[in-house]
Each structure stands twice: as structure tokens, then as C-alpha cells.
């Protein structure tokens, strides 16, 4: 089993008064380390800490609204998904292209598959 790390472009959803550069897509790091926790994924936002939550929550949230603890995931139209992170500092709402998250999930399942020789 091996580490999966993928960068995806995402939009940090903010108020209408946000500066132009904050409305552009930013790189978000997606990580899966089956040796550390085979049931968890990590999402690293720019300038903040890394969020760890259930891989199944991410998968469920791509089909229908799902949430657990401080993380919520839901589909947004046909091609986008939203991940919402709650902390003492506030709420971060991040909008991804669904295909990037699906590609990441597919890679996580392949990483956990036994190697056939």
C-alpha cells in the first residue's frame, strides 16, 4: 500500500467583497496514507492546517449531502462538489470539480488494493 497525494484546483468560497486574487482557484492538497489510517483522507488548504476525515464521507458527499463532525460534503450541480470545514476560527467552504475528487478517490482505492504478481 502506498501514499496517494494529489493537488486539485479549488475555489475558496468567500463573500462578494473578497479581493480578486482570493476568488481565483487555489491548489489544494489531497492525501491518503493507508499506513497511517486506511479509512481517512486529508485535505490541505492554503495557509491553514490539514483536515482529516473519513474517506467514505467524501465518497457519500459526492452523491448526496453528508456530514460528520466539523466536515460537510455535498454535490453542487452536475460537475462540482462543496466541502465545508468548521473550526473555532470560522467556516471554510471549498468548491471542487467533482471529477478531481473522483480521480483522487479512485487512486486511494487502487493504493489499498493488493499487488498481484
Residue 5 has pLDDT above 80, yes or no: yes
Phi–psi pair at 72, nearest 5 degrees: -130, 145
pLDDT of residue 89: 80
pLDDT at 116 over 70: no
- What pLDDT sits at residue 55? 96
What is the average pLDDT value for the chain, to the nearest integer?
Answer: 87
Q: What's the whole-number mean pLDDT along residues 6-29?
A: 74
pLDDT tens profile 41-93:
999 988 767 899 999 999 999 999 999 899 999 999 999 999 999 988 888 89
pTM of the shown model: 0.85
Per-residue pLDDT, 20: 54
Q: How confident is the model at residue 112 (pLDDT cuts 50, 70, 90)?
A: confident
Amino acid at each position: 500500500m502506498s501514499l496517494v497525494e494529489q493537488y486539485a484546483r479549488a475555489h475558496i468560497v468567500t463573500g462578494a467583497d473578497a479581493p480578486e486574487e482570493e476568488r481565483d482557484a487555489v491548489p489544494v492538497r489531497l492525501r491518503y496514507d493507508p499506513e497511517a489510517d486506511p479509512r481517512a483522507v486529508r485535505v490541505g488548504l492554503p495557509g491553514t492546517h490539514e483536515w482529516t476525515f473519513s474517506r467514505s464521507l467524501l465518497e457519500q458527499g459526492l452523491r448526496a449531502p453528508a456530514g460528520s463532525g466539523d466536515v460537510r460534503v455535498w454535490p453542487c450541480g452536475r460537475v462540482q462538489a462543496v466541502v465545508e470545514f468548521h473550526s473555532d476560527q470560522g467556516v471554510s467552504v471549498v468548491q471542487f470539480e467533482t471529477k478531481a475528487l473522483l480521480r483522487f478517490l479512485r487512486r486511494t482505492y487502487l493504493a489499498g488494493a493488493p499487488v498481484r504478481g
